[in-house]
Amino acid sequence: MNGRAQPRLCLVEDDPIMGESLMHRFALEGIACDWYREAGAALAAVEGQGYALVLSDIRLPDMSGEGLYQALLERCQAPPPILFITGYGTIDQAVRLLKLGARDYLTKPFDLDELLDRLRALAPALFGGGAEVLVPVLGISPPMRRVQDLLARVAGHTVGVLITGESGVGKEYAARYLHDSADPQGRTPFVAVNCAALPEHLLEAELFGYERGAFTGAVRTHRGVFERADGGTLFLDEVGEMPPAMQAKLLRAIQERTVMRLGSERPVRVNVRLVCATNRDLRKMVEEGSFREDLFYRINVIHVPLPPLRERREDIAWFAHRFVEEYNQAHGVRHLLGPAGERFLQEQPWPGNLRELRHAIDRGCILGEGDLLGPLELGAAPWTAEGEGGAEAAGSAEDLRTYLEQCERRLIEETLESHEWRIADSAAALGISRKNLWEKMRKHDLQRDEE
């Protein structure tokens, strides 16, 4: 025991059945939680002690969740993050709260595992007492949690680490996490170089450096990346693209822990943590003779394979929200990823992995006309219908948008009528969630004619 109190969750929920269900599940997960049925009592408790997170319904008996949040902002110097639970009728209010700074919201009815994933992303210290829980950095999916745990354990040892995976899958993310785990204060350098981006003669100069006058154009002494990374981490990306002659020189530098600048006869001692990455099959390259076997074993003491994004779909929305927030901070704007946009992203194959996902988010933030990012802003192909009038309706971007909305409204209304306005059956027939169907019904002002 370290003597520190376990971080606690503040639950604000007036429904006794919902509250008891949540408290039971939280107890099973080892989450310390205090349950308040009124906003006033919760507000007083939050002021009195530091909660790791507030989980609150929006509709409460004494004041709304929005009123609670406004009071927290006014009374607390550093209010805890807040996650709202909302019904269909308060989705607009939840979006408004997000714009004010609330962290997230869930729409009823929600899956408890999904709620736990959101809590784990927003307040990981709630799980298992906090001290031994890893803050999600590489993702919230089970495979990436295992990768992060492995890298955290490797951080205390200076051994060769090989990170493999498809292009854009996040290999540099993993290398930076390993470096940060070994040096949380950030006192040592992290230096990255792409071995495929430089021709052989420039790659050698970049890796080992050169002396002034070593070749035409060498007007000053240049320290290579091995020297610049001394005491820290050197990340060699696309190491599988390194020419055979350079492989031999890299192996010598690793074995002897020294480098020789071009044009110099004096070796320079270096001490680096070497992390290599590739999207190629190095074992196959060894068998084919295009990659040195001795170098392979030197850099592959610890192998860290990263699965593609399509095999860890829990991470898609998690990263998407973070990319949106990074864009907001960099450009001083306030974009939000809406539920429909989140669902669209999770349905895509993402052959370009995280790199492609980030580009989609950036494009949506740049080209989107509103603050809320939906499927159209994120690159959804327009749904078109064959038949009379289709070509004329697509005469301009505005006409096309109107036409598509009319098509969507007609399809939803026909589906609802064919299923006698049963929401669950209609949503299944349309291939969307009930929450998504409710949002579209509200957007198109669709309601059953009681007559």
142-307 with 315-373: one CATH topology? no
The CA dihedral of 375, 381, 385, 388, to the nearest 10 degrees, is 110
With a cut of 60, say whether residue 393 has pLDDT above it: no
pLDDT tens digits for 89-145?
A: 566 766 777 776 777 788 777 777 788 888 888 888 887 544 444 567 898 888 998
92-106, 234-248, 255-269, 287-301: least confidently modelled range:
92-106
Question: 315-373: which CATH topology?
Answer: Helicase, Ruva Protein; domain 3 (1.10.8)
Q: What is the pLDDT, as a whole number, of residue 391? A: 36
Q: Tell me the C-alpha distance between 211 and 278, whole Å.
A: 30
Instruction: Give yes or no for a cis peptide into 80 (omega within 30° of 0).
Output: no
State both tokens at 65: 């969740």
| Confidence at residue 306, expressed as pLDDT on a 0 to 100 scale | 96
Query: At the topology level of CATH, where does 8-129 sit?
Result: Rossmann fold (3.40.50)
Q: How confident is the model at residue 430 (pLDDT cuts 50, 70, 90)?
A: confident
Please check the confidence at residue 288 and state whether its pLDDT lies above 80: yes
More confident site: 49 or 13: 13
Architecture of the CATH domain 142-307: 3-Layer(aba) Sandwich (3.40)
Q: Say if strands 233-237 and 273-278 run parallel, antiparallel, or are unpaired.
A: parallel
β-strand pairing of 82-86 with 53-57: parallel
Render pLDDT for 214-225 as a digit per residue (tens, 0 to 9): 777 777 888 999
Between strands 233-237 and 32-36, the pairing is unpaired
The mean per-residue pLDDT over the stretch 346-366 comes to 93
CA distances from 232 to 156, 179, 188, 192, 223 (A): 13, 8, 5, 11, 15
Summary mean pLDDT of the chain: 83
Q: Where are the domains of the chain?
A: 8-129, 142-307, 315-373, 390-443
